[in-house]
Amino acid sequence: MINRISNSIRNIGLKFKNQKNNNSNGKLYSQNDQEMIDTFRAYIATETYRSCYYEHDGDFNKFIEKGDETIDRIIEKSPKYSEQRNRIQEILESQIREMFELIHSYGGENSYPPPLKNLPYYSMEEKLKRCLQIKQTNIQGKPIDHPRGFRLHVKKSDINHEEAGYGVHVEGECVPGTIVAIYPGDTYDGDNIPSNVVSDNDYMMSRYDGTVIDGRSWNRRADELILKEKFFNKLGTKSTGTDLLCYKNPFAIGNFINHPPIIKDNNGNDTDQTKEPNVIAYSFNFRSNFPNHLSFYIPNKTATEHSIFKDSSVLRRSLLLVAFKPIKNQEIFLNYRFNPDLPYPNWYKQPDLEEAKRRWGSRRSLSIHSILNRN
């Protein structure tokens, strides 16, 4: 069933590629096309979630029994792009509120592993030391109970590589379309990021609208707060303050999710393939009407934003990590989609080069009407 979905998305990518090849005036790789493919992928995932929980009492096995029939309906009756986005937003908004209400019910908690003293995030040498200590000591965070019945756990990654430290693991079974994590950090307008933030930073995540989220700063600040006793007390369960509640969102762990590892052959040598990612990143805006008592737990802070195109209806810009495949007792993997025009680190292999080229291709100027009504 999931393979059928993947093939459908792959065919859409080929369709866009062929359209560009047949258009001598067009450019082969366009971010607009990949954004639409990613939206369709998120639409399929969230419609699967909708069907499972709204039509099959949350029983994924019942959904599987009618899987082909249901997936056919989802794919064949998919609405226009604008309606896809509306339906995705509806499901994600519902889940976010459910997750945040759960957090608020117990006052939140920090699910990060204990800080590693004197090992900051800046140089590669320091990063390797951190990863080695994580592997040797098996340091773990506190398991997180998800509203949908499974647990999330930040602990050492299953990836056998010197630069692989922590990873996020699902304990139990997670249905496609489920939000598994939020990517925390300071948000920047892509044209206004300080050079010291970008330097040697592999925790940067970008959205199609140009927003960039720096997860490294969040890691470092969370560690610093816990190491300082006065802040640690405020972060305790009896805290009544609100300024530090954003660091007590246990689902703000997207910065610990790894890129899919390279598959080894029978002799232990690297192949040209990676494991397939099982989550996707989807842009999400916390709106100004988001409940005030829940807004304190939003794990994103605005550092810079576009001075001209500022949207007053947006409270905070964020990025959600959403399951695209069923995940059962597995580590979570996200395709980082590094720019193919830049050199890769030795642990990185591109799972889908065509997707990456589209993601980092040119941005076409389209009218609002054409964007909202394109299939």
Round to the nearest angstrom and report the end-to-end CA distance of the chain: 23
Q: What is the pLDDT of residue 36?
A: 92
- N residues, the chain: 375
As beta bridge partners, residue 30 has 362
Q: Which pLDDT belongs to residue 285?
A: 96
pTM (two decimals) = 0.86
Pairing state between β 300-302 and 185-189: parallel
- Taking the C-alpha atoms of residue 132 and residue 17, their distance in angstroms, rounded to an integer, is 43
CA–CA distance, 140 with 151 (Å, rounded to integer): 14
Residue reference for tokens 């299939």 = 375
The residue to which tokens 């394109």 are assigned: 374
User: What is the 3-state secondary structure of the chain?
Assistant: CHHHHHHHHHHHHHHHHHHHHCCCCCCCCEHHHHHHHHHHHHHHHHHHHHHHHHHCCCCHHHHHHCHHHHHHHHHHCCCCHHHHHHHHHHHHHHHHHHHHHHHHHHCCCCCCCCCCCCCCCCCHHHHHHHHHHHHHHCCCCCCEECCCCCEEEEEECCCCCCCCCEEEEEECEECCCCEEEECCEEEEECCCCCHHHHCCCCCEEECCCCEEEEHHHHHHHHHHHHHCHHHHHHCCCCCCCCCCHHHHCCCCCHHHCECCCEEECCCCCEEEEECCCCEEEEEEEEECCCCHHHHCCCCEEECCCCCCCCCCCEEEEEEEEEECCCEECCECEECCCCCCCCCCCCCCCCCCHHHHHHHCCECCCCCHHHHHHCC
What pLDDT score does 241 carry?
A: 63
* Closest by Cα among 216, 218, 177 to 301: 218
Strand-pair category, 279-287 with 166-171 = unpaired
Query: Phi/psi of residue 161, each to 5°?
Result: -150, 145
What residue has token string 């998305």?
A: 9
Mean pLDDT, consecutive 10-residue segments, the chain of 375 residues? 53 50 56 92 93 80 68 79 94 98 93 74 72 85 95 94 90 96 94 83 88 89 70 51 85 95 83 90 96 96 78 92 95 94 88 91 59 42
What pLDDT is recorded for position 237? 47
**Are the C-beta atoms of residues 148 and 175 closer than 8 Å to each other?**
yes
Q: How large is the greatest C-alpha to C-alpha distance in the chain, in angstroms?
A: 65
What pLDDT is recorded for position 24? 41
